[in-house]
Structure 1
Amino acid sequence: MFSLKLKRTLKMILLPKSVIIFLSLTLMCTTYILSITTLYNTVENPGFSILDHKQINSPFSCKDSTWIEKWISTGTLESTESTDSKNNLKNQGPCDRILFDIVYTWVNGSEDNYKIMRETYKNKSGLNIPEHYYRDYDELRYSIRSVETFFKDYINKIYIIVTDLENGTMQFPSWLNTDWINPVTGDSRIEIVKHTDIFTDITVLPTFNSLAIESQMMNIPNLLNQVIYFNDDLFLGKHLTPSDFWTPLYGHVFHLEPQLLVQPDLDGLPIKAGEWYALYHTNKLLSEKFGYRHRAYVSHSTHALSTLISKEIVAEWPEEFHETSSHRFRGQLADIHTTFLFTHYVIEKHRETLLKSFLIWKMDKNHNGHWELSERKEILRTLGTEEVHRIERKTLNNYTKTLNDANLFHPYETSYSWSSMDGYPIWDSNPRFYYTKCNIDFDLCFGKDFMDNNNNSVPINKIFRMLAFDKYQCGDCIITRVLSLSGELGLEAFLPEPSPSIVEQNNNLTDNNLKVNNRKDNNRKNNKTKDNNIKGNNLKDNVDYYNTTHSNNSSFHEKTTINYREYAVNEISRFNYAIGQISFSFVMLKYSHQSWYELNKIMNKNPSIFCINDDVDGNNPIIKKYVKKFLKLYFRQDNEYELDAWEWKKSLWRKFRDSVFGQETRINI
């Protein structure tokens, strides 16, 4: 109809017949191409500009480092400088864009060479390992599509950790075009990393244990400090920003389930292949270091990690990490649960740093590792004898505006419910984030030596360990009290007074102030840590900071200029975190009649993040068909580095060519 009207219109203006045909065909071709382009882009895309990550020198930087002290001490970013400086801060913000590396662990358990290799080792182990641990429904392709659709502007590189096969080859996704190079950056978007590239001891390979692989994944070469870890069955469903995962102000964003608590011991528990025995074992390690507590379950979702902190954790438990890496299958022996350990290590280190900052770096005035009588009296006066009541804090009252003022996107889908700037979240049989009131029993918490006026000087280490870890309720109540002294915002009452830097030996700093950080529980049954490991761990708390700020100090035994306030601020900032809630759906596939119903629920809910967990006994082709159909419908937009993308574009061209010229003019391409 449109073609006839066009011809009649052209005849009316008296054009030659050949010109009329040419113009008609040209307009028809243009219209068809535009319609194809529109169809090709119907799937949602982020709508953000694509960053050239090679032009960004750092994944995160701030123009003025003085904001850190201002933020930690006052909980604000307001500048005390001139009006021009304030306007500049308001217009630009103190912080630049943030980039993350994305890390996937992946295996195709359906590949013949892999199945033969796995069955060989499984028979030797005598374990009964379910098939669905390794089954592949092509989820990785669509998980990466979800990341590219909803988080594209904040990705530096995507790493996929794959298995080395014993025939000298390796697994890699069949859909991935390994030769694809980004024409803008001149670099590949996805990098394949073999197990032999990241395991510190390759004699333990091959491995079929996801917990073993996770324990080594932060050894990927050239990995950025800020990392988001995905299992291949996790998908993004909505646009997210860096603040949904990590910010330089509030730190890592953790998704916890405080109604689901992990116990701190293993007594009488049988070893199982699932994650819960690993969780119990990991909480036991945490409890031996930081105090015996139940700790909240970490949601089976995406995990924001730090490469530097992860390496610090490995240095704290080197033998346990090596043992986990050597277990070829889950359920052989006790494994470390890496993401649970990282989450609660950060939470506990922040608590420990608050206590150290107040009791050691602030109250030990002469920094000699002892509390003198005058210092002890000041501690007692500051803490007071009255009942401690928690005051209302305003840290999260307007956090989206605070992030925007810092030139950072506010979280699109995550709601912050707790900030470490408000202390320590406490869970017990009735989970809540904090106690509203408590009492400090000084005789119980600090001990007789501390309270004895006849003792002119008492060593700090033993007393600090007792009140911070062994009797952790004491440390919790002290934090609550000092928070109230800090007011509604900031942590000023925890921080040492501004003073000239002190010159002293690095090893004195370690022996006097940081040794408690590396204590090994006297009751620990498996005390395998040697003296050289302890020395290495003693270095860990200050070596990262001083290596970056005092690069001229080549030897640990050289004298160092120490600004205790600056040191405390940086340590608190390094372990900052927030607890947030985000819409999340966990779908466990079990039976055919239930699977499509559960997948449709995701369509209806449209969660921000969702997981499709394969728990199907045996091989069920119907469920496999359901999953693939669902993923193709949900994530239609392929990526440029998918091999199928080129074939799809060729088919579009053929369709267009045949419709315009007819099939008899087909030219093979």
Structure 2
Amino acid sequence: MDQLPEVIRIPFEEAVDDVELEGWEDDWFSSATYDYERKLAEPKLDFVYNWVNGSEDEFKTIRHKYELVSPLNDADGKWISQHSINRYRDWDELRYSFRSVDRYARNITNKIQILTNSVRDNIKSEGETESLRPQQPTWLKDDDAVRQHVEILSQEDFFDGTASECLPSFDSLSIETQIYNTPSNVDQLVALSDDMSLGAPHSAADFFSPLFGPMLGFKSNHYNTKSIVKSDVPTFGEKPHLYYTSWLLNHRFGERERKAQAHFSHSISRRVMREAMASFPSPALRGACERFRGESKYQIYPWYTAFHYSIERFREALLWSFVMTRSDINGDGYLDWSERQVLLDAIRPGRQAMAREDASTPAKPAEGRDRMFYQLPSIHKQAGLQPPLSNVKVLWTSLDGPETIRDVKCYNFHIDSCFAESFDSPLSDASYLNPDFSTANIFAQLSRREPRCGDCLIKFMLSTVQRGLEPLLPPKTLHRERETVVKALLKYQHTVIEPDAMFVMVKDAEQAETELLDRTIKLNKHVGQWCFNDDVMTDDGDAVAKVNRVVQTMFKTLFPTKSRWEK
């Protein structure tokens, strides 16, 4: 494990081996046009739950065996007594989340997968050796009709290679590093915890669109970790993992602030998640082998990684395309003076237009450029797709450019610092080749060493056209390179939304009744998604029972009808 590299850079030519084009993609990414006579099929999605029944005795027995040998265990047994108070408690949330999916997403569901721990199978014939079985919800039907829609996977079913040697895991982040291995005939999945439920009708476009990619939701807090050895790095909750993963992303893509993902359902491509984890080999394997949360000081955060990996790779594909293929006209790996002149002329109009910005004003969108995030619903309708029904507040699409350019200001863009010293002078390499002007160095400068410069270059170039990404794409004469870039854009495209959702951290019965029942459900308030997070930090039977009564009232009010998979 320690011999694996922290970070590797996967070439685009290799990264797009798993991408197939249907024929409309070049027009779509180059000019944001689509032949609306060619209707697209409505996507089907997998809903994948990370679930455990922490109340089952067999599960408790197995967990305790590993708790005793965990490095987190202490002589007084304090960690064992406290860490599982609320982490594995079962409020029967999964039953009601199933009801919500069946009610509000039935037409877009490919299948539902439950990822769970294995326990001893007490039912065995005489002479059989002891075997393990995945945990199964007691309320779930066990027949062929249900098995067509619902698949229960033990960790042994989808952890691969060396990671499988670390099982069992009792850490959701560990399990999520392997979620891309879940078997399916579709690439796109919607990952949920059992404390998440849908609260209103959803179309596929609330999660994923073939034209716009997965829908990504973010919190307002952001991270830009430049060192992980300082004492001010937090040691509790999800923050240590966000700090560490921010540091990894900075190491791979350059330093910038990156927002944390919202704590609701996560829409992700299996192939993108696979590539994201493969790009951080050692952190991904260490994360998969984390048996309990916090055993090592830092752990890769799979969703934070995958979301920003998609955004950064989309951006990187555009910069690679512009520098390596569009600007290097003779393809010799070096930008000579004539090629540099063409590049500088190309960015001049956008640079001049944005020179009027200053530090005190918000970043402005390019004048005259269509805002595709406003047009997303109408484009879906014209293409034969249902538009979003719940996540209707679309903030940005990758057809507007990678999300990184959304708020970038470019008034202080300088040629020398963004490209190389004397990049705009013919004298700088009149007598010899300047290694700073190699395409590899310029690409590294724009994509990683000075990421704001790369963002501004993209913004400059896109400001010259009304829509689409053509100014950054390889010339159409370079068929192989252009196909590679289009495949990369299809793979990494993304849309940023503000989720229509409500998150409640349940602490006690009085608070739950006030926030969930009195202020919300009794007032008939509706949201697209709910998340009821268990933060009841007591094992007192009476206190827990009071909370349970409130929670059950809430669930039965919101989701009174059984799902088709329920006994």
TM-score class, shorter-chain normalisation, is 0.7 to 0.9
- Cα distance in 2 for residues equivalent to 1:466 and 1:124: 47
Q: Is the counterpart of residue 317 in structure 1 residue 280 in structure 2?
A: yes
Distance change (3 Å), C-alpha of 1:387 and 1:439: farther
The alpha carbon displacement at 1:482 in A equals: 0.5
Larger displacement relative to structure 2 (454-463 or 399-408):
454-463
Pick from 92, 102, 106: which aligns with 1:148? 102
- Cα distance in 1 for residues equivalent to 2:255 and 2:157: 36
- Cα distance in 1 for residues equivalent to 2:192 and 2:231: 33
Residues 205-247 of structure 1 show CA distances to partners (whole Å, capped at 9, x for unaligned) of 1211111011112111235201110110000000011111111
- Cα distance in 2 for residues equivalent to 1:155 and 1:269: 44
In the TM superposition, 1:125-136 aligns within 5 A as: 125=70, 126-127=72-73, 128=79, 129-136=83-90
3-state SS of paired residue (2:419): helix
3-state SS of paired residue (1:384): helix
Letter in 1 for 2:553: K
- Cα distance in 1 for residues equivalent to 2:155 and 2:478: 49
Q: Is the counterpart of residue 624 in structure 1 residue 548 in structure 2?
A: yes
Q: Are the equivalent residues in 2 in contact too, given 1:387–1:439 (CA < 8 A)?
A: no
Residues 44-82 of structure 1 show CA distances to partners (whole Å, capped at 9, x for unaligned) of xxxxxxxxxxxxxxxxx99x93321111111222x4xxx
The alpha carbon displacement at 1:388 in A equals: 4.6
- Cα distance in 2 for residues equivalent to 1:270 and 1:204: 27
Q: Is the counterpart of residue 391 in structure 1 residue 366 in structure 2?
A: yes
- Cα distance in 1 for residues equivalent to 2:250 and 2:508: 39
The alpha carbon displacement at 1:436 in A equals: 5.0
Counterpart of 1:453?
429
The alpha carbon displacement at 1:269 in A equals: 4.3
Counterpart of 2:26?
69
The alpha carbon displacement at 1:152 in A equals: 0.5
- Cα distance in 2 for residues equivalent to 1:203 and 1:435: 45
Counterpart of 2:154?
194
Counterpart of 2:10?
none
- Cα distance in 1 for residues equivalent to 2:478 and 2:280: 36
Counterpart of 1:262?
223
3-state SS of paired residue (1:158): strand
The alpha carbon displacement at 1:450 in A equals: 4.4
Letter in 2 for 1:112: D
Letter in 2 for 1:461: A
- Cα distance in 2 for residues equivalent to 1:465 and 1:588: 43
Q: Are the equivalent residues in 1 in contact too, given 2:374–2:394 (CA < 8 A)?
A: no
Pick from 593, 601, 612: which aligns with 2:532? 612
- Cα distance in 2 for residues equivalent to 1:134 and 1:118: 10
- Cα distance in 1 for residues equivalent to 2:234 and 2:58: 29
- Cα distance in 1 for residues equivalent to 2:550 and 2:373: 42
3-state SS of paired residue (2:256): coil
- Cα distance in 1 for residues equivalent to 2:64 and 2:490: 48
Higher helix share: 1
- Cα distance in 2 for residues equivalent to 1:423 and 1:247: 17
The alpha carbon displacement at 1:585 in A equals: 0.6
Counterpart of 1:163?
117
The alpha carbon displacement at 1:178 in A equals: 2.0
- Cα distance in 1 for residues equivalent to 2:315 and 2:90: 41
The alpha carbon displacement at 1:437 in A equals: 4.1
Q: Is the counterpart of residue 96 in structure 1 residue 96 in structure 2?
A: no
Counterpart of 1:249?
211
In the TM superposition, 1:147-546 aligns within 5 A as: 147-165=101-119, 168-181=132-145, 188-200=148-160, 201-222=163-184, 224-257=186-219, 259-264=220-225, 265-266=227-228, 267-269=230-232, 272=235, 274-333=237-296, 334-384=298-348, 386-389=351-354, 390-392=365-367, 393-394=369-370, 395-414=372-391, 415-426=393-404, 433-448=406-421, 450-451=423-424, 452-454=428-430, 455-456=432-433, 458-485=437-464, 487-499=465-477, 501=479
Larger displacement relative to structure 2 (464-473 or 365-374):
365-374
* Greater RCO (CA < 8 Å, at least 6 residues apart): 2
- Cα distance in 2 for residues equivalent to 1:205 and 1:381: 57
The alpha carbon displacement at 1:573 in A equals: 2.5
Q: Are the equivalent residues in 2 in contact too, given 1:370–1:459 (CA < 8 A)?
A: yes
Distance change (3 Å), C-alpha of 1:609 and 1:500: closer
* Alignment root-mean-square deviation, CA: 2.2
Counterpart of 1:586?
503
Give runs of ≥4 in structure 1 deviating > 3 Å: 269-273, 385-388, 424-427, 448-451, 455-458
Q: Are the equivalent residues in 1 in contact too, given 2:462–2:471 (CA < 8 A)?
A: yes
- Cα distance in 2 for residues equivalent to 1:484 and 1:245: 29
Counterpart of 2:66?
121
Pick from 486, 497, 508: which aligns with 1:569? 486
Distance change (3 Å), C-alpha of 1:586 and 1:607: same
In the TM superposition, 1:22-33 aligns within 5 A as: none
Counterpart of 1:108?
53
Q: Are the equivalent residues in 2 in contact too, given 1:373–1:456 (CA < 8 A)?
A: no
- Cα distance in 2 for residues equivalent to 1:416 and 1:641: 33
Q: Please tell me whether Structure 1 or Structure 2 has the larger radius of gyration of its CA atoms.
A: 1
3-state SS of paired residue (2:189): strand
The alpha carbon displacement at 1:202 in A equals: 2.4
Residues 498-526 of structure 1 show CA distances to partners (whole Å, capped at 9, x for unaligned) of 2164xxxxxxxxxxxxxxxxxxxxxxxxx
Q: Are the equivalent residues in 2 in contact too, given 1:102–1:159 (CA < 8 A)?
A: yes
- Cα distance in 2 for residues equivalent to 1:76 and 1:403: 12
Residues 427-473 of structure 1 show CA distances to partners (whole Å, capped at 9, x for unaligned) of 9xxxxx32354243111122137452324574211221122211112
Residues 587-608 of structure 1 show CA distances to partners (whole Å, capped at 9, x for unaligned) of 1111121111222134232111
3-state SS of paired residue (1:438): coil
Letter in 2 for 1:579: V
Larger displacement relative to structure 2 (625-634 or 440-449):
440-449
Taking only the aligned residue pairs, the percentage that are identical comes to 31
Distance change (3 Å), C-alpha of 1:293 and 1:270: closer
- Cα distance in 1 for residues equivalent to 2:460 and 2:353: 6
Letter in 1 for 2:477: S
**What TM-score, normalized by structure 1, do the two folds share?**
0.71
The alpha carbon displacement at 1:270 in A equals: 5.6
3-state SS of paired residue (1:191): strand
Q: Are the equivalent residues in 1 in contact too, given 2:99–2:561 (CA < 8 A)?
A: yes
Distance change (3 Å), C-alpha of 1:223 and 1:597: farther
